[in-house]
Amino acid sequence: MKRLLLAPGSIREPHWHANCNELTYCIHGKLLVSILDTGSKFSTFTLEAGQMFHVETGSLHHIENIGKEESELIIAFRHEQPKDFSLYGSFGAMSDAVLGNTYGQKSSDFAKLKRSTQPKYIVKRDGLPSILDTAGLPDSHKFDVEALAGPIALPFGSAKTARDQFWPALKNISMYSLRIAEDGMREPHWHPGTAEMGYVNKGRARMSVMDPDGSIDTYTLKPGDCYFIPIAYPHQIEVVAEEEIHFLIFFDQPFPADVGYRASATALSNSVLASTFGVKAEDMPVFPFTAQDPLIVKKVNPTDPVKWSKL
């Protein structure tokens, strides 16, 4: 995951990723994105807060701040160690004669270009941006996740999902835009087939994660923090301040399937549960019948004490 900040007029230089695709969420700003896919497929589109774009492995792309304020982007990759090539660096790998032959020019025409095999990463634009009239049209690489009617929309929380069901471009990655109010909680759950990586955009929260050895990691999260949950590790998220939380949560599968604690109690008989917890059946809590996990539940109990020193 990367957090990319671009000042007005700044450009994330043209580049591509050799071993992974990319899924990007715009927190704020106005940007221009250009993509060249295999098969000579050209795309250019604008991007604003709450919108996302997806780039396949090996596709050339650039990101440019065309607004008057700093832009902020959260970028997730499908590989834990993404490898980049920049267009600038790739030009530096070829001789003037080779480049001249490529473009039908004299080799001397390339002598004035500054050359290096190392990327610049971010460069500054001279003058005004070049924006095509069609840049505001819909594009298959672009998705307005915050404009989507989320599958979960409750007074105490919501979840809007970028996944292949709504965005066919996503083949092996997906994302939740998760918001939880002070009186809500992300129920304890696990993901059977995907790891989870999250970024805290807003609010303060507490997360508990269980490891296979029985140990528990409980920590607080604040804006700018990231976290990672391995496949099938049970975990839970709750608000620990008055402000709602907003998490950007990325998954390494096209559909982030869940198994939650609430439905788990419905899947097993009361006698099995009583035997499991070592009590009589009549002493068991009355678990509500849950055919489908709610994902977000309403708090009916006070929040456990928080050790703010961990922030």
User: Any idea where the domains of the chain sit in the sequence?
Assistant: 2-142, 146-258+293-310
Q: What is the pLDDT of residue 32?
A: 98
Q: Which residues pair with 52 in a beta bridge?
A: 25, 143
Nearby residues of 245 by Cβ (< 8 Å), 6 or more positions away: 178, 179, 180, 200, 202, 203, 204, 205, 237, 239
Q: Among residues of the chain, what percentage have pLDDT more than 90?
A: 95
- Judged against a pLDDT cut of 50, whether residue 292 lies above it is answered with yes
pLDDT bin (cut points 50, 70, 90) of residue 310 is very low
CATH T-level fold of 146-258+293-310: Jelly Rolls (2.60.120)
Helix (H) or strand (E) run with residue 101 in it: helix 96-103
Q: What is the pLDDT of residue 309?
A: 42
pLDDT bin (cut points 50, 70, 90) of residue 307 is low
With beta carbons less than 8 A apart as the criterion, state whether 254 and 193 touch: no
pTM of the predicted model over 0.95? no
| CATH architecture observed for domain 2-142 | Sandwich (2.60)
CATH topology identical between 2-142 and 146-258+293-310? yes
Quick: pLDDT tens for 211-223.
999 999 999 999 9
Q: What is the pLDDT of residue 308?
A: 52
Place of tokens 């909680």: 185
